[in-house]
Structure 1
């Protein structure tokens, strides 16, 4: 088989679909090379419908069924647009690895019957692209008692393994860490909110989709009282394995913490940025006293957030994953292309030490064209 794969990812921020065309080189040692990449827009009305479904409400099942199909069509559009831009025929691509759009994540410890739900019908993707599609990566791990997340640590180990201490932190809507230890062992978990609350707050007060470069947060002052309230959330002190999402860190959670406080909006934004930095830094400190920290995801472009991280982690060198050949904006999408490759090769895609699953497992289901 060829070693060209496509990875698709839509994260908690629900701002776009990241699509990448990756050549893994056909060698035992993974050397992913991005041949083409794009950020495919999600129409504001579709984004609103997705975000509405992320919060419990009436007629969820009917809305979910329709959104599953609609998202499948949009993922297929992203794939076909990517191929046209790259000048690659669908027949040249081995498979599409599609993460889908998470609309509910209830890991072990939060409900009696844990589940995770991603929309974006892979049957539709396969039919409209003519390419085998691999999807539903999280539920096998959860069926084995795992969190179903994070799934990137196995890929991070393949792409960034080192002889020293290295941590990879993805800052998307939520943030997660992969700890690559010098002895070859690995650990990883969600650290807490990444950009989701920052995006919510700047949208509410500035009518902007995100705080570019963290400029608005940098103009404010951190509220010690609000910071303490937010950092007292039980999730932060819970031991891994653990994963989280909008079900825990959402607008209602923030509004409850703000009760009785009179703060300038910019000061709230600064405090939210500090929460993201503090929760990531605590995870890094628990890993090692120093080393190399690689950042990916939208947060890699947030200068204010990165400066807060550096202040809290003076003994760590901080860079983005582009330093090692994989652009920080596309790393997760590349990771799902890699997971699709693992599936076809019959190789495990999860790390039980990360998710808490009973054993390693081949992840995902294959949907022929």
Structure 2
């Protein structure tokens, strides 16, 4: 068993999630502490600008990679000290700013070696690259952790993660299938920010007051991605706010929530069996308007992860830790049925701190 601390920051860049678990990469022996540390305001601003700008001009990426690394170092130092942790390794996912599986490219900014040297701990990074080298989408990577969490739950079931993008993991015994579904919170968050109404639709308040524009929604749902079979994955900016353009704050929010819920409803038709249960993770589970829309769109029950004693805030950081343990054990972290890779792939790269590296 290893004590591993996982870290991840999503494309909303709202903070660095950290969590410790003790695991052998097959089962979790103990769930340790978790937490979230905000980026420095200037780092978050630069991350969002880089995501919005896309890959054409990459000149700012090296400096941003260093800022992302240093913010993670500060967050990790505080987290380890506050919880009196001395982990065997840290998993550093880095900050995704670009993802295009059609050209075999995914970019997670960060400097794992710099982080290892600063912490004096082994760091596992580059968790997506091996999968893409084998023809995979590089995402989603969390499904194998979902499988570990669901061992004692009735199946078939789906884990539904609603972050910037929504994605699912379908589980039925040893059968596992995963894919990105469509827009999660990203478009809604951008819409709220555009109207200077906050950073997100807090408690679903704006979307609850709005009216869904059915004709616009129907047109948006005609996009071929939503009915294409998995594995498949998306960049945060794969879809735009065009469906809401010209609407009021409330009507736009309601229509974007409906888009998220209805695309998830369409995904149900792509599964081998209708899941009896959807366990919802990610920030979307905290939006009551979205959760109500999901209950209407899906045949199975819709429940937040906390109903199953699963920390929805820490889950993805825990998953990174779990992937790190699987890497250490030489076990696959992704599969043909989850990412489309040609074979099961053990992804990651170990970066030892200077104090542990052998001098040539």
TM-score (norm 1): 0.90
Q: 1:102 is matched with which residue? A: 96
Q: 1:78 is matched with which residue? A: 75
2:307 is the counterpart of 1:323: yes
2:296 is the counterpart of 1:306: no
- Are the structure 2 counterparts of residues 326 and 33 from structure 1 closer, same or farther at C-alpha, using a change threshold of 3 Å? farther
Q: 1:119 is matched with which residue? A: 109
CA deviation after TM superposition for structure 1 residue 57, in Å: 6.4
Matches within 5 A, 1:209-288: 209-249=199-239, 253-255=240-242, 257-258=243-244, 262-287=246-271, 288=273
Cα distance in 1 for residues equivalent to 2:171 and 2:279: 11
CA deviation after TM superposition for structure 1 residue 29, in Å: 5.5
Aligned residues: CA RMSD: 1.8
2:159 is the counterpart of 1:168: yes
CA deviation after TM superposition for structure 1 residue 68, in Å: 0.8
Cα distance in 2 for residues equivalent to 1:60 and 1:366: 29
CA contact (8 A) 1:35 1:86 kept: no
Cα distance in 1 for residues equivalent to 2:65 and 2:137: 22
- State the Cα deviation string for residues 308-363 of structure 1 (Å, max 9, x = none): 001122x4222222233320111111000000101111111012111110111210
Cα distance in 2 for residues equivalent to 1:318 and 1:258: 26
Q: 2:358 is matched with which residue? A: none
Q: 2:125 is matched with which residue? A: 135
CA contact (8 A) 1:211 1:217 kept: yes
CA contact (8 A) 2:19 2:34 kept: yes
Cα distance in 1 for residues equivalent to 2:275 and 2:3: 37
Cα distance in 2 for residues equivalent to 1:352 and 1:236: 20
Runs of at least 4 residues off by over 6 Å: none
- State the Cα deviation string for residues 201-237 of structure 1 (Å, max 9, x = none): 1111143011111111011010012212321223212
Equivalent residue for 1:335, pick from 309, 315, 319:
319
Q: 1:177 is matched with which residue? A: 168
CA deviation after TM superposition for structure 1 residue 290, in Å: 4.2
CA deviation after TM superposition for structure 1 residue 155, in Å: 1.3
Q: 1:36 is matched with which residue? A: 33
Q: Which secondary structure state, in structure 1, belongs to the residue aligned with residue 195 of structure 2?
A: helix
CA contact (8 A) 1:352 1:359 kept: yes
CA deviation after TM superposition for structure 1 residue 44, in Å: 2.5
Q: Greater shift after overlay, 99-108 or 230-239?
A: 230-239
- Are the structure 2 counterparts of residues 33 and 298 from structure 1 closer, same or farther at C-alpha, using a change threshold of 3 Å? farther
The runs of 5 or more residues in structure 1 that have no matched partner are none
Cα distance in 2 for residues equivalent to 1:104 and 1:330: 23
TM-score (norm 2): 0.92
The runs of 5 or more residues in structure 2 that have no matched partner are 354-360
Q: 2:343 is matched with which residue? A: 359
Matches within 5 A, 1:188-203: 188-203=178-193
